[in-house]
């Protein structure tokens, strides 16, 4: 990677590239947008899926102690009463009396960041949950909330999961899905939005083992980011002090990434104790204790498990991966923008490019495309010069281009070009698939 610091305009460059190349669009742009809502375009939707797949692989598929669920977004409001969200999931809100902007008091200090006035209203608590009504009646009795975190889905299904999987402690329940928060100040592109996607896992443990599992998950989660290409120098683990801890937490550490505006949260790892299970036990009257049967080395006993929770944002992580991958270098005397995305995260793994719009070349290229499509997400591009097409693929992070030229028609061989080094090698069509599979470590979906 070239020697690049975090430049002032890095955020602007990434935001522009996202719009220009179809990663992320302002939502409802033809109507002037909609308050920090974003739509993921042809490339962004592929990359977001890859981020989630990479998390899923690491947290669920490659382990035997984590199972998955996919819970409802709209659930019984009793869930949010028991969890404490109705009572205390709020931010302190202040208004500037001069310019009428609204702010989170804990983020701004004594004056308005917009106009500088210190004539602010007193702060009042503003609940972040989106309320709606379920069914045709609009009254108190039909109020329901869009989930502000996926985590509660795991707690309310704890007994069902335990009974159906017969898992023993320690074990985890993982889920990826949308969450909604009526943020007072959504900001910094997709860093903080009102609708976003979370990747959360609740790991149930014996209370006396909670501290060690908390350390374990902090370490594991840091390694997920570095394993996908974020340099250690741009990551840090920051432990919360007592004042910062959430109402449910005995210990929390944020995994922070060096965003263009400084270190900021990517993921929180929390020791949620037995707070949630106990709260749901009390409110629902259902026993959520774990039973250790007699006969093993432990005495028979019942207890409410503690929970270690690594909670990440898929959309926020995607933004961090994009920022960390953005690079500019010079190839053959020409400046190029290259997204040095991990091969598992890039929207396309392979681009198939006929050298020119010759009919025979295009026919063979389509044959190559169809051979690769069952194994890789592929792009196909026959427009403009080959040099321009390489640049276009570099800019969206495609790790490999496969070029079909006039020699290919004779020798049944094609050229593989690698994104980071721009090195090219000639490969027989018969071994192309195996070659690409080796290059991508066999990780193709
Ligand atoms: N279950 C615990 C929980 O939800 P959180 O720290 O509030 O904890 C976890 O959220 C992660 O979800 C954050 O670290 C962040 O990556 C993501 N996240 C939270 N609010 C977000 C928002 N408004 N926009 C985008 N991502 C958000």
Domain boundary assignment for the chain: 10-77+135-322, 348-439
Which of 36, 196, 270, 310 should be mutated for ligand 1, with most atoms under 8 A from CB? 196
**Cβ 171 under 6 angstroms from ligand 1:** no
Angle, vertex CA 430, rays to CA 424 and CA 431, nearest 5: 50
pLDDT confidence of residue 91: 87
What would you report as the CA-atom Rg of the chain, rounded to the nearest whole angstrom? Answer: 25
The alpha helices in 121-196, defined as continuous H runs, are 151-156, 158-165
Residue 219: how many CB atoms within 10 A of its CB? 11
Residue 294 and residue 255 in contact, taking contact as beta carbons nearer than 8 Å: no
Residue 387: how many CB atoms within 10 A of its CB? 11
pLDDT confidence of residue 300: 67
Q: Atom of ligand 1 at shortest distance to CA of 265?
A: 14
pLDDT confidence of residue 106: 86
**Cβ 85 under 6 angstroms from ligand 1:** no
**Cβ 202 under 6 angstroms from ligand 1:** no
**Cβ 192 under 6 angstroms from ligand 1:** yes
What pLDDT tens digit does each residue of the chain (445 aa) get? 344 444 669 999 999 999 999 999 999 999 999 988 999 999 999 999 999 999 999 999 999 999 999 999 999 999 999 999 999 898 899 999 999 988 988 888 889 999 999 999 998 889 999 999 999 989 988 999 999 999 999 999 999 999 999 999 999 999 999 999 999 888 899 999 999 999 999 999 999 999 999 999 999 999 999 999 999 999 999 999 998 888 788 999 999 999 999 999 999 999 999 999 999 999 999 999 999 877 766 566 899 999 999 999 999 999 999 999 999 999 989 999 999 999 999 999 999 999 999 999 999 999 999 999 999 999 999 999 999 999 999 999 999 999 999 999 999 999 999 999 999 999 999 999 999 999 876 444 3
Distance of CA 435 from the midpoint of ligand 1 (Å): 40
Angle, vertex CA 419, rays to CA 416 and CA 420, nearest 5: 130
Distance CA 153, CA 208 (A): 25
Q: Which CATH superfamily is domain 348-439 in?
A: Anticodon-binding domain (3.40.50.800)
> In Å, how far are 55, 71, 132 from 153, measured between CA atoms?
18, 5, 19
Token code pair at residue 152: 């509660």
In CATH, the number for domain 10-77+135-322 is 3.30.930.10
The alpha helices in 76-209, defined as continuous H runs, are 78-83, 85-88, 105-108, 151-156, 158-165
61 φ/ψ angles, rounded to the nearest 5 degrees: -60, -40
Distance of CA 192 from the midpoint of ligand 1 (Å): 8
**Cβ 321 under 6 angstroms from ligand 1:** no
Q: Which of 58, 55, 66 is nearest to 204 (CA)?
A: 66
Domains 10-77+135-322 and 348-439 agree in fold: no
Tell if the pTM clears 0.85, that is, is over it.
yes
Which of 129, 148, 149 should be mutated for ligand 1, with most atoms under 8 A from CB? 149
Half-sphere exposure of 366 (CA within 13 A, CB side): 6
pLDDT confidence of residue 445: 36
pLDDT confidence of residue 35: 86
């Amino acid at each position: 990677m070239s020697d690049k610091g975090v430049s002032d305009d890095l955020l602007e460059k990434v935001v522009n590239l996202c719009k220009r190349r179809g990663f992320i669009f302002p939502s409802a742009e033809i109507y002037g947008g909609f308050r920090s809502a974003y739509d993921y375009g042809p490339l962004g939707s592929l990359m977001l899926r890859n981020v989630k797949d990479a998390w899923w692989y690491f947290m669920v598929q490659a382990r035997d102690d984590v199972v998955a669920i996919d819970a409802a977004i709209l659930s019984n409001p009793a869930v949010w009463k028991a969890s404490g969200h109705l009572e205390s999931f709020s931010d302190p809100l202040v208004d500037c009396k001069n310019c009428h902007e609204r702010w989170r008091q804990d983020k701004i200090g004594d004056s308005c960041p917009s106009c500088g006035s210190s004539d602010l209203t007193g702060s009042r608590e503003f609940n972040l949950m989106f309320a709606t009504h379920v069914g045709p009646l609009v009254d108190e009795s039909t109020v329901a909330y869009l989930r502000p975190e996926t985590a509660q889905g795991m707690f309310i299904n704890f007994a069902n999961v335990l009974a159906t999987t017969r898992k023993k402690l320690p074990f985890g329940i993982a889920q990826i899905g949308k969450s909604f928060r009526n943020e007072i100040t959504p900001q910094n592109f997709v860093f903080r939005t009102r609708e976003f996607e979370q990747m959360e896992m609740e790991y149930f443990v014996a209370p006396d083992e909670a501290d060690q599992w908390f350390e374990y998950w902090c370490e594991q989660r840091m390694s997920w980011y570095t394993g996908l290409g974020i340099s250690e120098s741009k990551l840090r683990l920051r432990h919360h002090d007592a004042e910062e801890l959430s109402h449910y937490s005995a210990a929390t550490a944020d995994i922070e990434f060096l965003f263009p505006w400084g270190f900021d949260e990517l993921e929180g790892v929390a020791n949620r104790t037995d707070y949630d299970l106990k709260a749901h036990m009390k409110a629902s009257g259902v026993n959520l204790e774990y039973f250790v049967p007699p006969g093993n080395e432990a005495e028979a006993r019942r207890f409410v498990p503690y929970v270690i929770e690594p909670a990440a944002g898929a959309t926020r992580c995607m933004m961090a991966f994009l920022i960390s991958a953005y690079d500019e270098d010079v190839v053959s005397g020409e400046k190029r923008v290259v997204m040095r995305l991990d091969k598992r995260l890039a929207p396309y793994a392979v681009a198939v490019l006929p050298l020119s719009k010759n009919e025979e070349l295009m026919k063979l290229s389509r044959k190559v495309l169809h051979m690769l499509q069952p194994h890789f997400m592929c792009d196909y591009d026959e427009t403009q010069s080959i040099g321009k097409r390489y640049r276009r693929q570099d800019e969206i992070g495609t790790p490999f281009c496969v070029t079909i030229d006039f020699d290919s028609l004779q020798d049944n061989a094609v050229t593989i070009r690698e994104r980071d080094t721009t090195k090219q090698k000639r490969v027989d069509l018969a071994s192309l698939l195996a070659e690409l599979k080796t290059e991508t470590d066999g990780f193709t979906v």
